[in-house]
Chain A
Amino acid sequence: VKPCWILCAFLFSLSRSDGEEQVGQGEQKSSPARPSFGKKQLPSIPKNAVPITKAASPAPSTQSANGTHASYGPFYLEYSLLAEFTLVIKQKLPGIYVQPSYRSALMWFGVIFIRHGLYQDGVFKFTVYIPDNYPDGDCPRVVFDTPVFHPLVDPVSGAGVRRAFTKWRRNHNHIWQVLMYARTVFYKINTMDPLNPEAAVLYDKDIQLFKSKVVDSVKLCNSHLFDQPKIDDPYAISFSPWNPAVHEEAKEKMFAHKRRPEDYNKGLPVSGLSWVKPGSTQPFSKEDNPLQT
């Protein structure tokens, strides 16, 4: 089974990198194509999505008393979440991949690969739900697609790992911390305040039985890996078996991608100028002969 997971991980990271571009730099790549006077829209909010008339205006705390910029509230929320997402990218959490959904920045899809320990080889898909009064609401919720057997994962809903952040504090708490915590609980089992009491008791009382249940649960989760995503969304994470026709090219691209940053820099026409010698704070301190440039 193991090679299959590596493959999956491989494929996933590929799709993840694509998704990342969609949300992050992808914007600037696609932007030149747009007419400069044309309509502009925020990332990942499709303008022509099915209109639903239910009005539920989010009320961020930044709204001013006179209400002149009430209509900017959604922008603040959107950018706060984008900022959170870039923070996640920056953290490079091992074995964790997420991407916001197409329909809403408040819903992120994710998958976690467990590389050793009791849950070794486990590949668990999950969804992160962020409250719409973020960052002043509760802790974002992590819900596993398939409820994995774990003291801190609800056996029915798959909800878990909320406990670590009883009170969500803006500026202090970030979504990457939630994800990191979600990863940690699979390596370091904690049975306090369990969401799955059975698992907690077993872990403390009968570790062997616990282990075998975990192995079964991991197998179960992995057997559902190729299922259609539970939530129908263009950006939902979906796995598929290796298909050279589809994946070979992507795989090669991915290996080539390693070298890309340099090439990327070289290829671009550099429009900035600098004659400052690194380490100096004097203009024109570079020893280059300007005539030779």
Chain B
Amino acid sequence: MTSMVANGTRGDQSLVLKGVDPETCMIVFKNHWAQVVKILEKHDPLRSIVGGLGGGHGLGGGGGLGSFRFGPVPGDEASAVQNYVEHMLFLLMEEECGQNGAMGPILEFVVMENVLERLFIWSLRREFTDDMKLEQLKMYEMLIGQARQPLLHHKPVLKPLMMLLSSCSGSPSGSSSSAVETELVLLLNQLCCVLAKDPSVLELFFHTSEDQGAANFLIFSLLIPFIHREGSVGQQARDALLLIMALSAENHVVAKHIAENTYFCPVLATGLSGLYSSLPTKLDVPSEEWHCLHREDWQQLPALVQFLNSLEFCNAVIQLTLEEVMTTTAYLDLFIRSISEPALLHTFLSFILLHRHDNVHILDTLVSRINTPFQLGTVSLALFRTLIGLFCEDVMLQLVFKYLIPCNHMMLSQRRVLRERDCYSVSAAKFLALTPSCCSPEVIPPPLRKLDSILWSKGTDGSHIGTMESKEVLSEEDDCGNSCVIGSEIYLDVSYLHYLYDAQNSISHCMRACRVWSAPYDGENPPPEEYQRNTLEEAGRTRPPVTSRKTPNQMHHSGPPLKDLTATPGLLELEWDDSYDACPTQLHPEEDQETRPIPDEPPKHIQELRRTAIMIVKGSYIEESEFQNDVMVYNLVAQKDAHDSGNSYHTSSKSLEAAKQEMLDESVTDQKTTNSESSISNGLSSPLDEMDSKKRGSQSNHKSLEGEDLVAQYEELIRTLGAQHSPAKTDSELKSPTDLMDEEEDEIDFNSFSPETPEAEKLPSPFGTKPRSGSRGHAVPFTGPFLSVLLSRLENMPSNSLHVNLLLTGILAQLAAYPQPLLRSFLLNTNMVFQPSVRSLYQVLASVKNQIEQCSANNKDFPELLTAAQHCLLARESSLRDSQSPQKGDWFHSSEADRIKTKPNIQPKTVVPLNKTEVYAAVLFTEFLKELAAFAQEHSILSHLPTEQ
């Protein structure tokens, strides 16, 4: 039997059909169908009436199909049906749409007669072999791919298709032949393309599935097993899934389904890890010069190609679903926790840290979400706890240190005391002194306050001051052995010992982990001034020349800095956004941005967040003043975004900006521009950028720039620059541009502006905004959005849910373990003097203490509630402890459970409802103070031990 369907060729036929009038086609079609029906009915056990609607067939589902069989179908009849069907399909495919998009007559007939469903049942009635599946799959593939009118809108087309897909999913994927799999994925891919073009079909797919008994997005589920498949099958599956993910950005049902009902996330993450581990451990090194994997290298390695494909795919998934924020955040958290391979983490982290979506760094978006209320904020917090627990320098740099390195958050005089140790536990004492009076150890009865006696002994001399006297005493005591030791027994809160022990573990673990870091972050290395200078250059370099923004793909380009791009050309091919090229259709909204002028307003999601924030403020649960910080953070992020939107700048700041921009543009667009000319513009642009960023930072006055200020700032800047380079060159204003170039050429890759450089390298550096926000901090002292948001949430401790507070204090305790003086001094040194605009952890804690004291004063029952809440928390802790024995490597999480420690098996007598947040917060706060004090104390020892020993 020569089947044209199977061969997929139809060229001649379509030529023949041209010019044939629709009526004739219709007649032929009906004719064929009548022949087919004859055969079908002959073998139909139910003998349904010719022309009856297909709904009457009452298909019972895959399992019971065997019972329909009514003896074997003779081969000649089968092939006759086959032939008729092929002709019918051609006629259907070639039919044009009717008037105003109505169905063509043949399609109408197909729908009315339920042709396709009956044909599917026919194929089931015969042996439903792989060949049969193939035949059906190919039939739909051809129909969907080549029909000239939309078919999937019609249930009588869609339903048998779904049944076919179901029957393919019913069989364990291993048993189907690879030919069926190939065809299945091809069809699925095609369906996804249709869905992407016409999302309205999506609804139908869901509804049709519901008819099948389960709300099951079949296409998606069927594709998942192929995610990590090698070869073109895998590629098609991934492309198809990407299309769906793109849809999920807009369709809530799809997103929810993916997150809740499929194994997509685990499959993605674990599959990736699996692929990674199957990478060849040894590479054939072609020559001695070989130093990195180029495209031609890795293309030789199927395992690697496969891994990279999956990686690209994961990335694309994350990008596309960014709108579904909570789901995505949960994805991310899961991914990062699942990944154990550093190289894979590298990929994920660099994506989070450097990549932008809608011109906002993903990291910024994630940080801003910490402050969103309810679930999203909590999920974001959990993600950050995971991130911080990685002890990854790059993460900590972007989240925290970048803002602390310039040391602008502290008074100038404090820089030298940054590394000082707290010899006498002064900070610990100050933290503990914040213990609310209602929570003081004396007030709390046992067993909550577990007292134990510890022998504190001391040397003899304390009681003997006079030299002569002590001489005699000493010699006496020496004679009688150990009596020179006197001691005292002091009752104390044993839990504090636990905290000290935890802090010691936590800090030493962190110190060990940070040994691989590039710098100590101690206020000298990296040098604060140096960092600011880099920032300027960064800003100068990252002004995106308008002319170079050509494709959305490039706009989104991110990756290692320019130097790295040149050093690893192989990687260029693997940049995240290339994955878009693999998508048959591109759905990302950035395309629009190219054409429409970018508004001065912050991106939509930031506006959204701000709106939520304000709504909540206006609502009830937080006072406006207390939310100020958060709103400020939103504003900062939003402002930055507006600025970073590239080619649109505030008209107010246009004067300098525009001039500079023109110079840069010229250097790019004018092919004749020499390097030295472009370097002039760069050399000059640095101070201008600096002023610009200052101006930007000071928010209030960024609409006007006083001439005096400008000159003063310019001079100051030149002075600092000059001072850094060489003390001799005091009058650096007179330096020639070439000097400037010489000094800075190490930092700036001028090639990036030359016409020879590949387009990709001229793109705005993904780091552009970050350092600039750092230099904004130069004007307005700012410890960065992350620390600010954490502290502002902490300040609301009394109204936060228990879980949020556990996460918050957990994150802060984890941060407090970091030994780097910049962070340690900010969090734990209560003696540091910060700039007035910078809130310290201590200040925030003091504010919380006051709130708790007020709660306590206003509520007579507070002490009892407090005791009851402690019992509840103890019960919670002991149940946690029972259910999950501390696992290896899970020390951090166990520390959360450790927060409240005493005897196990305490049953709460009265359960304090969780909405009494202030009561739980008071208990947690008191424990948190102990935890912080313990960290401060342990740091005074551990962080100062000589590293060698």
Q: Do A and B come from one complex?
A: yes
Contact of A272 among B391, B440, B560, B561 (CB under 8 A): B391
Smallest CB gap from B398: residue in A: A283
B residues near A207, Cβ cutoff 8 Å: none
Given contacts A66-B433, A291-B304, 5 further A-B contacts (CB under 8 A): A103-B482, A103-B485, A129-B461, A276-B393, A284-B354
Q: How far is B426's CA from A27's CA once the two chains are assembled, in angstroms? A: 23
A62 and B429 contact, CB distance less than 8 A: yes
Smallest CB gap from B350: residue in A: A284
Q: How far is B497's CA from A47's CA once the two chains are assembled, in angstroms? A: 12
The answer to whether the Cβ of B347 comes within 8 Å of any Cβ in the partner chain is yes
Q: A37-B881, A62-B424, A285-B561 are in contact. Are A275 and B471 (CB under 8 A)?
A: no
B394 and A75 contact, CB distance less than 8 A: no
Contact of B462 among A37, A64, A106 (CB under 8 A): A106
Contact of A270 among B345, B428, B515, B944 (CB under 8 A): B515
A84 and B482 contact, CB distance less than 8 A: no
The answer to whether the Cβ of B840 comes within 8 Å of any Cβ in the partner chain is no
Q: A40-B497, A284-B560, A285-B564 are in contact. Are A86 and B433 (CB under 8 A)?
A: no
Q: A45-B454, A64-B429 are in contact. Are A272 and B949 (CB under 8 A)?
A: no
The answer to whether the Cβ of A115 comes within 8 Å of any Cβ in the partner chain is no
B423 and A66 contact, CB distance less than 8 A: no
- Min CB distance A260 to B, Å, is 9
Total B residues in contact with A, Cβ cutoff 8 Å: 116
- Min CB distance B889 to A, Å, is 9
The answer to whether the Cβ of A114 comes within 8 Å of any Cβ in the partner chain is no
A residues near B293, Cβ cutoff 8 Å: 289, 291-292
The answer to whether the Cβ of B292 comes within 8 Å of any Cβ in the partner chain is yes
Q: List 5 A-B contacts (CB under 8 A).
A: A74-B490, A74-B492, A75-B937, A233-B482, A283-B395
A130 and B459 contact, CB distance less than 8 A: yes
Smallest CB gap from B530: residue in A: A281
The answer to whether the Cβ of B225 comes within 8 Å of any Cβ in the partner chain is no
The answer to whether the Cβ of B185 comes within 8 Å of any Cβ in the partner chain is no
- Min CB distance A134 to B, Å, is 9
Contact of B901 among A20, A34, A37 (CB under 8 A): A37
B residues near A156, Cβ cutoff 8 Å: 471
B428 and A75 contact, CB distance less than 8 A: yes
Q: A54-B486, A283-B353, A289-B292 are in contact. Are A272 and B514 (CB under 8 A)?
A: yes
Contact of B949 among A24, A41, A57, A280 (CB under 8 A): A24
Kindly identify, within residues 452 to 510 of chain B, every residue whose CB is under 8 Å from any CB belonging to chain A.
Answer: 452-463, 465, 467, 470-471, 474-475, 478, 481-482, 484-494, 496-498, 500-501, 504-505, 508-509
Contact of A20 among B504, B767, B949 (CB under 8 A): B949
Q: How far is B454's CA from A41's CA once the two chains are assembled, in angstroms? A: 9
The answer to whether the Cβ of A69 comes within 8 Å of any Cβ in the partner chain is yes
Contact of B457 among A49, A277, A283 (CB under 8 A): A49
Flag the segment in B81-89, B516-524, B598-606 that touches A.
B516-524
B residues near A121, Cβ cutoff 8 Å: none
Ordered nearest first, which 7 A-B pairs have the shortest CB separation? A272-B513, A283-B394, A157-B471, A274-B393, A107-B459, A68-B440, A40-B501
B494 and A83 contact, CB distance less than 8 A: no
B residues near A157, Cβ cutoff 8 Å: 467, 470-471, 474-475
B478 and A72 contact, CB distance less than 8 A: no
B508 and A84 contact, CB distance less than 8 A: no
A residues near B730, Cβ cutoff 8 Å: none
Which of B395, B402, B490, B571 has the most chain A CB atoms closer than 10 A to its own CB?
A: B490
Q: A107-B459, A291-B293 are in contact. Are A55 and B454 (CB under 8 A)?
A: no
Q: A42-B500, A74-B456, A83-B941 are in contact. Are A281 and B391 (CB under 8 A)?
A: no
Which of B395, B428, B457 has the most chain A CB atoms closer than 10 A to its own CB?
A: B457
Against A, the Cβ 8 Å flags (1 = close, 0 = not) of B738-750 are 0000000000000
Contact of A89 among B391, B423, B460, B945 (CB under 8 A): B945
A28 and B508 contact, CB distance less than 8 A: yes
Q: A62-B425, A83-B941 are in contact. Are A75 and B496 (CB under 8 A)?
A: yes
A69 and B433 contact, CB distance less than 8 A: yes
Which of A24, A39, A47, A75 has the most chain B CB atoms closer than 10 A to its own CB?
A: A75
The answer to whether the Cβ of B271 comes within 8 Å of any Cβ in the partner chain is no
B441 and A68 contact, CB distance less than 8 A: yes
Kindly identify, within residues 77 to 102 of chain A, every residue whose CB is under 8 Å from any CB belonging to chain B.
Answer: 79-80, 82-84, 86-87, 89-90, 101
The answer to whether the Cβ of A287 comes within 8 Å of any Cβ in the partner chain is yes
Smallest CB gap from B933: residue in A: A72
B474 and A51 contact, CB distance less than 8 A: no
Contact of B455 among A46, A268, A273 (CB under 8 A): A46
Which of A34, A83, A105 has the most chain B CB atoms closer than 10 A to its own CB?
A: A83
Smallest CB gap from B451: residue in A: A71
Which of B459, B518, B564, B894 has the most chain A CB atoms closer than 10 A to its own CB?
A: B459
The answer to whether the Cβ of B442 comes within 8 Å of any Cβ in the partner chain is yes
Q: A25-B949, A39-B494, A106-B459 are in contact. Are A84 and B453 (CB under 8 A)?
A: no
B516 and A272 contact, CB distance less than 8 A: yes
- Min CB distance A147 to B, Å, is 10
Which of A55, A129, A171 has the most chain B CB atoms closer than 10 A to its own CB?
A: A129
B519 and A276 contact, CB distance less than 8 A: yes
Q: A47-B455, A74-B490, A289-B568 are in contact. Are A274 and B516 (CB under 8 A)?
A: yes
- Min CB distance A194 to B, Å, is 13
Kindly identify, within residues 241 to 293 of chain A, every residue whose CB is under 8 Å from any CB belonging to chain B.
Answer: 261, 265, 268, 270-285, 287, 289-293
The answer to whether the Cβ of A170 comes within 8 Å of any Cβ in the partner chain is yes
Q: How far is B914's CA from A101's CA once the two chains are assembled, in angstroms? A: 49
The answer to whether the Cβ of A135 comes within 8 Å of any Cβ in the partner chain is yes
B residues near A293, Cβ cutoff 8 Å: 342-343, 346
A residues near B486, Cβ cutoff 8 Å: 52, 54, 56
A72 and B455 contact, CB distance less than 8 A: no
- Min CB distance B303 to A, Å, is 12
B454 and A232 contact, CB distance less than 8 A: no
Q: How far is B898's CA from A7's CA once the two chains are assembled, in angstroms? A: 49
Smallest CB gap from B480: residue in A: A232
B residues near A131, Cβ cutoff 8 Å: 461-462
B residues near A292, Cβ cutoff 8 Å: 292-293, 343
B423 and A132 contact, CB distance less than 8 A: no
The answer to whether the Cβ of B169 comes within 8 Å of any Cβ in the partner chain is no
B940 and A274 contact, CB distance less than 8 A: no
B residues near A56, Cβ cutoff 8 Å: 458, 462-463, 486, 488
A290 and B460 contact, CB distance less than 8 A: no
The answer to whether the Cβ of B563 comes within 8 Å of any Cβ in the partner chain is yes
A232 and B353 contact, CB distance less than 8 A: no
- Min CB distance B386 to A, Å, is 13
A residues near B226, Cβ cutoff 8 Å: none
The answer to whether the Cβ of B421 comes within 8 Å of any Cβ in the partner chain is yes
The answer to whether the Cβ of B512 comes within 8 Å of any Cβ in the partner chain is yes
Q: A51-B453, A62-B426, A275-B393 are in contact. Are A287 and B490 (CB under 8 A)?
A: no
Q: How far is B393's CA from A232's CA once the two chains are assembled, in angstroms? A: 49
B residues near A154, Cβ cutoff 8 Å: 467, 471
Which of A46, A62, A67, A279 has the most chain B CB atoms closer than 10 A to its own CB?
A: A62
Contact of A289 among B442, B470, B571, B947 (CB under 8 A): B571
Q: How far is B347's CA from A104's CA once the two chains are assembled, in angstroms? A: 52
Which of B390, B429, B442 has the most chain A CB atoms closer than 10 A to its own CB?
A: B429
The answer to whether the Cβ of A230 comes within 8 Å of any Cβ in the partner chain is yes
Q: A154-B471, A272-B515 are in contact. Are A285 and B459 (CB under 8 A)?
A: no
A residues near B455, Cβ cutoff 8 Å: 45-47, 49-52
A72 and B432 contact, CB distance less than 8 A: yes
B residues near A223, Cβ cutoff 8 Å: none
B423 and A171 contact, CB distance less than 8 A: yes
Q: How far is B561's CA from A287's CA once the two chains are assembled, in angstroms? A: 9
A89 and B517 contact, CB distance less than 8 A: no
B residues near A117, Cβ cutoff 8 Å: none
B432 and A68 contact, CB distance less than 8 A: yes
Against A, the Cβ 8 Å flags (1 = close, 0 = not) of B345-371 are 111011001100000000000000000
The answer to whether the Cβ of A166 comes within 8 Å of any Cβ in the partner chain is no
Contact of A284 among B346, B492, B567, B933 (CB under 8 A): B346
A106 and B429 contact, CB distance less than 8 A: no
